[in-house]
Chains A and B, each alone.
Chain A
C-alpha cells in the first residue's frame, strides 16, 4: 500500500558517538525507497533531535547509536516526545544493540530495533508499512 505522501524520516546521531556510516547507508536506502530523509549530522542532543523532528514534521525518528549508550538515549527521547505530545512519532533504534537490549528498547517505546547488519530490505519494508501522521 503506497503512502499518500512520501514518509518523512529523521535519521539522527544522538550523543557523542561519531560513527555515521550506518546512519548514512540507511538514509540512502530510505531515500532510494521514496522517503523524504533528513539527516541531522553528528553530536545532537535529544532536545535538538526533538526540535528537528518538530520543525521537519517527521513521521519517523531513527536513532543511530554505536557507543553503547542506547538505553539512556532512547529513554530520554521517549520522555521528551511525550512531553511535546509527539507520541505518535514512530521511533526506530539502530546501531550496536546487544540482543538482550532489544526487548528493553521496545518496552521503552521504540517501534523497532535494527542492530548492526540488519538487512536494508527489512528496514525499508518496515518504514513503508508505517502510516503517515
Chain B
C-alpha cells in the first residue's frame, strides 16, 4: 500500500522549524547560493572562516581539565599532551572562580573539587611548569575573576620566557552569561561589564595574540535556550562587550577580531550544523553592517563547539561515548576551530583519565580515519542544509529582536532576570517532555532497562582528595610569609583606587599579582568598592 506524506509523523526542530520528509532543488531555488553562502574563507563565511579549513590544519582538541592542586593538574596536562592533545583548557575550583582563597570559610568542602585551586601567582607557576606555553595555547575558564587570573597568567608566561606580546590563549571572561546560567558571578552588572572592557582594551595593545573573551552560548543552551536562542543571546552579549570598548574610542578592527565563541552541541544533528553555518554568516554581516568592520578577521566567527552536557544521560553511561562521537562529527561538519567533548561520566563526576582519553580519541579518530579533514564544508549545496541554514538565520534574528526591541537590550534583560526566566520555563518544559517520552532518549525513556540494585553501573569515579585543601593552605601561608607586606598593602591600595576612579584595572592587577597578593585579597578589595550582584530570583 502506498504511503502518503500526511501519514508520516511530523518533525519539528527545537528552534521551531518544521522538517519535510524530502528536500529538492525547489527548496533552495530562491536562495541565490553563490552570493548567500560564498566560498570558505570569504565573506560572509557561511562555509568556514578559512579557505581550506581542516585540509590545512585539523580543529584544535582541548579537553576541559583541572582538579585539586596545581601540581596534580600539571600532571594531567602532561598526560593529555603526551597523548596528542595540542592545547589546554583549564578548570578552576569554585572558590577560585568565586574569588575566595582556599582558607576562606566559604571555601570549605570545595577546594580543588571541580577544578584546580589558585590562590596566588605561585600556584600558576606550579601549574604551568614545563608546559610548552610558547607552542600551545591555554584556555582559562574563569569569568568574574578574569582580571586577576589573566594578570597571573601573563606574568607566569613572562617568567617562563614568553613575553605578553606573544602569549596565545583565551580567558572565558563572559560575565553576562554567568548571570543567565552557570552562576559564577561576584560583582554587579555595570562594573563587571566595564572590567570586561578593560581586559579587551588592555590586550588590544599589550597582548595582541590573546583572545580575552569567549562569549558562551553554551551555558545559555544548557539552561534551557533553543539552538536559535543560544546564538541570538550570545550575539547580543558579544555586541554589548564590543559597544563597551568602542565607546572608549577603539576601532572595532583593533580588538573585536579576538572575541571568540563557545557553543553547545546536542540534539538534532542537522539543526546544529545549520545553526553554526547561519551563525557564521550572521556574525559576519553584523560586524560589517552594524559595526563597520573592515578587516575580514573581525568578521570571522571563531568558536569552540562541543559538549554537550544536556545531551548525555546518567543511565547506561557508555551510550554517552557514542553521543560524544556524534557531537564531534557535528562539530567537524560545522567548521569549528576547536572542539571538546563532555566525557561519558559527565553525569557522575569530573572525568577520570580514561574517560578523557576516550573523548580525545573520539576526535582523533574522526580527524585521522574518517575523512572529515579532506574538504571544507562538505554539506554545502545540500537541499536540506541550505534551506535549514536560511531558516535558522531568520530564527536567530527574530530572537535577537526580542531582546533588543521587547526587553530593552541584553544588559537590562539580564539584570532583571528576563532571559533567566524564559530559559528556566523552557528547561521545565523540556524536562517534562523527556519524562513523558515526547523527547526520546535511548536507554532513558526508550529501550530502558530497569536497573537492579546490583547492576547500577560501576562508573569509575574520579576521587576527591580533601588533602588538597591542606596543601593549598600550606603553600598560601608560605607565600604570605615570604612576600613583602609593604608591597602588598601598596598594591591593594592601588587596586582600590583604580576601581573607585573607574580606570582600567589591568595595570594595577599586574602589579598586585606580582606582589603576591592573593586572589581573595584582591577580589575582597574590589567587593568593597563594587558590592555584589543582587540576583533577580526568578524561575
Contact = CB atoms under 8 A, between A and B. Distances in A.
Interface string A106-133: 0000000001110111000000000000
B464 A16 contact: no
A69 interface: yes
A25 B424 CA distance: 7
Interface string A22-41: 01110111000000000111
A54 interface: no
A24 B428 contact: yes
B184 A121 contact: no
A133 B449 CA distance: 39
B518 to A, nearest CB: 17
B114 interface: yes
Contacts, number: 89
Contact of B182 (A15, A18, A27, A72): A18
B145 to A, nearest CB: 13
A18 B539 contact: no
A21 B424 contact: yes
Contacts of B224: 21
Nearest to B178: A18
Nearest to A13: B183
Contacts of B108: 72
B317 to A, nearest CB: 12
A86 interface: no
Which of A27, A68, A98, A116 counts the most chain B CB atoms within 10 A? Answer: A68
Interface in A1-30: 15-21, 23-25, 27-29
B461 interface: yes
A39 B537 contact: yes
B314 A29 contact: no
Contacts of B95: 16
B313 A68 contact: no
Contacts of B100: 16
Interface in B427-444: 427-428, 431-432, 435, 444
Interface string B181-213: 111110000000000000000000000000000
B428 A25 contact: yes
B457 to A, nearest CB: 9
B177 to A, nearest CB: 11
Interface in B84-101: 94-95, 97-98, 100
Interface string B89-120: 00000110110100000111110011000000
Contacts of B223: 21
A41 B421 CA distance: 13
Contacts of A68: 113-114, 349, 464
A67 B435 contact: no
Contact of B535 (A41, A116, A117): A41
A103 B503 CA distance: 53
Contacts of A119: 435
Given A117-B314, A117-B444, A98 B349 contact: yes
A67 B181 contact: no
B162 interface: no
A40 B424 CA distance: 15
A120 B432 contact: yes
B425 interface: yes
Main secondary structure of the interface of B (DSSP, over half): loop
B456 A99 contact: yes
Nearest to A120: B435
B8 to A, nearest CB: 31
A96 interface: yes
Nearest to A117: B314
Nearest to A38: B537
B244 interface: no
Contacts of A42: 183, 535
A21 B347 contact: no
Contacts of A40: 537
A108 B520 CA distance: 32
Given A16-B95, A18-B183, A72 B427 contact: no
Which of A41, A98, A119, A121 counts the most chain B CB atoms within 10 A? Answer: A41
B505 to A, nearest CB: 23
Contacts of B185: 18
A99 B455 CA distance: 12
Contacts of B97: 16
Contacts of A79: none
A98 B347 CA distance: 9
B539 A120 contact: no
A25 B314 contact: no
B185 to A, nearest CB: 8
A76 to B, nearest CB: 9
A129 to B, nearest CB: 19
Contacts of B184: 18
Interface string B170-185: 0000000010011111
B222 interface: yes
B301 to A, nearest CB: 26
Which of B97, B349, B535 counts the most chain A CB atoms within 10 A? Answer: B535
A28 to B, nearest CB: 4
Given A16-B95, A29-B428, A96-B348, A67 B110 contact: yes
A28 B348 CA distance: 24
18 contacts: A15-B110, A17-B94, A17-B183, A18-B185, A19-B183, A20-B183, A21-B181, A21-B223, A23-B539, A25-B424, A28-B539, A41-B535, A67-B94, A67-B110, A68-B349, A69-B110, A116-B314, A117-B314
Given A16-B107, A18-B178, A20-B183, 13 more contacts: A15-B109, A18-B185, A21-B427, A24-B427, A25-B427, A39-B537, A39-B539, A42-B183, A67-B114, A69-B113, A98-B349, A99-B456, A117-B315
Which 3 pairs from chain A and chain B are nearest by CB? A18-B183, A72-B109, A16-B94
